[in-house]
Amino acid sequence: MTALAVLGAAATETASATVWVPGLIIVLGLLGVVVPVIPGLIVALGGVLVWGVDLGTTTGWIVFAICCALYAAALVLQFLIPGRRMKAAGIATSTLFIGLLVGIVGFFVVPVIGGPLGFVLGIYLVEYAHSRAGQRAWTSTKAALRGVLHSMGIELCAGLLILTTWIVGVLVSR
């Protein structure tokens, strides 16, 4: 093999790594949306940033700016849509916070499934303490779960849009 062929092969491996490593970071971020152990969209945005910095062109920065705008839009939608519905159902922010704390404890007590179970249990117990009626507490718990699922859906859609934007950026920059 000639020296030129070796350099060409090394350049191809480097170019491949500059696409696959950020891509894996973005996919890891998407997994973080579904399994909320890591901050999903922030990690995905970090993958796009790594790619943009490595690319070092205007295209990379434009793609990163579009992804930041998608992230910001997701944050606004996550606040407006589920939050409004939960407030309409009479669920206080403190109830969600306590549910989150019980979910964190549950995650360590019963690994993986303890988080969601603890969250549901925490919301139910707080709502039961407020209303002293099991049916009312369960209705509020279901409304809170719908809100959380809406929030996760918005975040997942934003993550997929970030991934798609990055893929288009990779194709355009080639």
Total domains in the chain come to 1
pLDDT of residue 7: 33
169 or 10, greater pLDDT: 169
* Residues in Cβ contact with 143 at an 8 Å cutoff, skipping those fewer than 6 apart: 85, 86, 89, 91
pLDDT digit string, tens, across residues 35-49: 777 888 999 999 999
End-to-end CA distance of the chain: 27
Q: What are phi and psi of 2, to 5 degrees?
A: -80, 165
Q: Are 41 and 26 in contact (CB under 8 A)?
A: no
In angstroms, rounded to a whole number, what is the distance separating the alpha carbons of residues 130 and 95? Answer: 10
The pLDDT tens digits of the residues spanning 147-163 come to: 888 888 999 999 999 99
> Nearest-CA neighbor of 91 among 111, 59, 120?
120
Q: Which of 140, 117, 118, 111 is nearest to 127 (CA)?
A: 140
Domain that holds residue 64: 3-173
Structure token digits, residue 13: 């491996």
What is the average pLDDT score of the chain? 84
Q: 14-23: list long-range contacts, CB under 8 Å, 24+ apart.
A: 18/51, 18/54, 18/55, 19/51, 19/170, 21/50, 22/47, 22/48, 22/50, 22/51, 22/54, 22/166, 23/47, 23/166
